[in-house]
Amino acid sequence: DAKTTQPPSMDCAEGRAANLPCNHSTISGNEYVYWYRQIHSQGPQYIIHGLKNNETNEMASLIITEDRKSSTLILPHATLRDTAVYYCIVKGAGSYQLTFGKGTKLSVIP
């Protein structure tokens, strides 16, 4: 699976949009981009995933660049409960193992 690069930490004001970037320049054509988050002392929570098109669900939006070498997770209105470590993971369709990097620690500030 392709490697991802994320900033180690970010701050976001409560109520504002949080935009978390991820670089995956070696992604191959059949690999998906997955986002999970881990709130302190809990198991990771699935957020969203995509292949080529932008995706949106009740939690977030995922914007994937046309060349698929990078993506951005958008939390439209961040709350204090969104403070967590966010992991961007690239995974092939036939692969079920997730390799976790260090992720981005998002701190939502009142």
Partner 1 sequence: GAVVSQHPSRVICKSGTSVKIECRSLDFQATTMFWYRQFPKQSLMLMATSNEGSKATYEQGVEKDKFLINHASLTLSTLTVTSAHPEDSSFYICSARGAGALGNTIYFGEGSWLTVV
List of residues contacting partner 1 (CB under 8 A)? 32, 34, 36, 38, 41-46, 49, 87, 93, 96-103
Q: What is the rounded CA–CA span in Å between residue 98 and residue 94?
A: 12
Identity of the residue, 14 or 49, whose beta carbon is nearer to partner 1 in the bound complex? 49
Cβ closer to partner 1: 19 or 38? 38
> What is the closest distance, in whole angstroms, from the C-beta atom of residue 38 to partner 1 in the complex?
8
Q: Which is nearer to partner 1, 31 or 82 (CB)?
A: 31
Q: How far is the CB of 44 from partner 1 (least distance, A)?
A: 5
Smallest distance from partner 1 to CB 2, Å: 17
HSE-up of 86 (CA within 13 Å, CB side)?
Answer: 31
Strands (E), the chain: 9-13, 18-23, 31-38, 45-50, 55-56, 61-64, 70-75, 84-92, 104-109
CB of 57 to partner 1, least distance (A): 10
Pairing mode of beta strands 104-109, 9-13 = parallel
Please list the residues that pair with 4 across neighbouring strands: none
Q: Which is nearer to partner 1, 41 or 67 (CB)?
A: 41
- Residue 101: CB atoms within 10 Å: 13
